Amino acid sequence: MNTPPTAPPATNGTTRRPTEGELEHQRAAIAALGHELRALVDATVRTSAPAEALHRVADGVRRITGQLTGRRRERAEIPAVDEFPGGTRMYSPVTGAGSPLAPPMRVTPADGGLIGRCTLGFAHEGPPGYVHGGMSAMLLDELMGRACAAAGMPGMTVSLQVRYHRPVPLETPLRVHARVTGTEGRKIFVDGSISTEGEPSTTVVTADGVFVTPDPDRTRALFPSLRGTV
């Protein structure tokens, strides 16, 4: 186990900015906890353990939760480990390695846009054996938003139309695609789709969305932590 290099307070009483090495060390720890929490979530939604065992586990989890002490992040505060907009989001419910809710989806540039790869488990079940429709929409919304940022136009969703052609299977590697198709002023038009890795040419869900880049005043008001950068 390495010694955690936490950022020591500076002599003027403020905390100095962590180095890139320290941030990487912290990200690795966040990802390790996220991995274990996802395993816990999966075990939780699949177990047939008796009530006594569930109570015992609940007590143990409560004790562990109590160990996550220290300053708690404020609303609208961007974590030091994140790169916003357009980069690493450690706690994103779609891509975040530290999120117990995220698959997490791995994103790479491809095919004139972005490809996201992930496998969804029982925690994301809608109809028995298949993915919840809201989860498919969330994967698409995130990747389509990231495609805007990757194209140099970070934007927020104002419209997302999703069409479900076939049910999305659980525990099956998925391939999500998103591509910017055009712009009009601050509006960005984006297409998205989901298929399985096994049959990439058969789209099971498709989407088209409109994203809008907020003007600088609105951006400052919505994301006060970005003050000085926009």
Query: How far is CA 61 from its chain centroid?
Result: 23
Site membership for ligand CO8, residue 82 (CB under 6 A): no
Assess 104 for contact with ligand CO8 (CB under 6 A).
no
CA 18 vs. chain centroid, Å, equals: 23
CA dist., res. 158 & res. 201, Å (int): 28
How many residues interact with ligand CO8 (rule CB under 6 A)?
19
45, two tokens: 């939604």
- Spatial separation of the C-alpha atoms in residues 37 and 191, rounded to whole Å: 32
Which residue, 127 or 224, is less far from ligand CO8 as judged by CB? 224
**226: contact with ligand CO8 by CB under 6 A:** no
Applying CB under 6 A, does 142 fall inside the site for ligand CO8?
A: yes
Q: Which of 54, 158, 171, 181 binds ligand CO8 (CB under 6 A)?
A: 158
Burial (CB < 10 A; 0-12, 13-18, 19+), residue 228, is exposed
Contact map string, positions 5 to 44, toward ligand CO8, x by CB under 6 A: ----------------------------------------
Distance, CA of 156 to CA of 215 (rounded, Å)? 11
Which lies closer to ligand CO8 via its Cβ, residue 25 or residue 219? 219
Span from 103-111, 127-135, 153-161, 189-197 in contact with ligand CO8 (CB under 6 A): 153-161
Please say whether the beta carbons of 22 and 6 come within 8 A: yes
Amino acid at 119: T
Strand partners for 188: 183, 211
Site for ligand CO8 in 173-192 (CB under 6 A): 185-187
Q: Give the count of beta carbons closer than 10 Å to the beta carbon of residue 144.
A: 30
Identity (one letter) of the amino acid at 82? Answer: D
Q: Of the candidates 5, 18, 86, 126, which one interacts with ligand CO8 according to CB under 6 A?
A: 86
| Residue 25 or 177 with smaller CB distance to ligand CO8 | 177
Listed ranges 3-11, 111-119, 152-160, 169-177: which one lies at the site for ligand CO8 (CB under 6 A): 152-160
Residues that bind ligand CO8 (CB under 6 A): 85-86, 141-142, 145-146, 149, 156-159, 185-187, 210, 212, 214-215, 218
